[in-house]
Amino acid sequence: MHLNSLHPAPGSKTKSKRLGRGIGSGKGKTCGRGHKGQKARAGGYHKVGFEGGQMPLQRRIPKSGFCSRQSLVREEIYLSDLNRLEADSIDLSTLIEAGIVRASTKDVKIIGSGELTRAVTIKGISVSAGAKRAIEEAKGKVEA
């Protein structure tokens, strides 16, 4: 291979259309822009959604609501939910199998609401301060 043998790929270089060079060229007179109007003029264009000065659709319609993307993978459960489980060691997979949290859940936090009636070991689940106290009072453990 030599520098003098390099060529651009076929079809990658095309000649630009010569506009306004007579009727025979096929792009004379109006040069493919039609007759008059904003699109026929130099620099004549507007932003997306512009409706000629009328209040645009995205501003006419009322806005409402917000759905956090984190809420799709995060859940909170109560201490009382742990009583429904038969396992002594509780982690994320145990909660998913028992149907307490959705299968798409990646992060769970135990909130200190309700009562825990038995000793359980919590593994790899975040726990609020009040819930941790309640678990330890029930002779349970919280492991990181």
Q: What are the tens digits of pLDDT across the range 9-66?
A: 999 999 999 999 999 999 999 999 999 988 899 988 888 999 989 999 999 999 999 9
Q: What is the pLDDT, as a whole number, of residue 144?
A: 72
Q: What is the pLDDT, as a whole number, of residue 66?
A: 92
* Nearest in space to 38 (alpha carbons), one of 17, 18, 48, 52: 52
Domains assigned to the chain? 70-143 (3.100.10.10)
Q: For residue 15, is it left (φ>0), alpha (ψ between -120 and 50) or beta?
A: beta
Interval 53-111: pLDDT, tens: 999 999 999 999 999 898 899 999 999 999 888 889 999 999 999 999 999 999 999 99
Contact, 67 vs 99, CB < 8 A?
no
Task: Please say if the pLDDT value at position 135 is more than 90.
Answer: yes
Amino acid making up residue 88? D
- Alpha carbons 88 and 102: distance in angstroms, whole number: 21
Cβ-Cβ contacts under 8 Å for 117 (sequence gap 6 or more): 83, 138
Task: Identify the helix (H) or strand (E) that includes residue 59.
Answer: helix 57-60
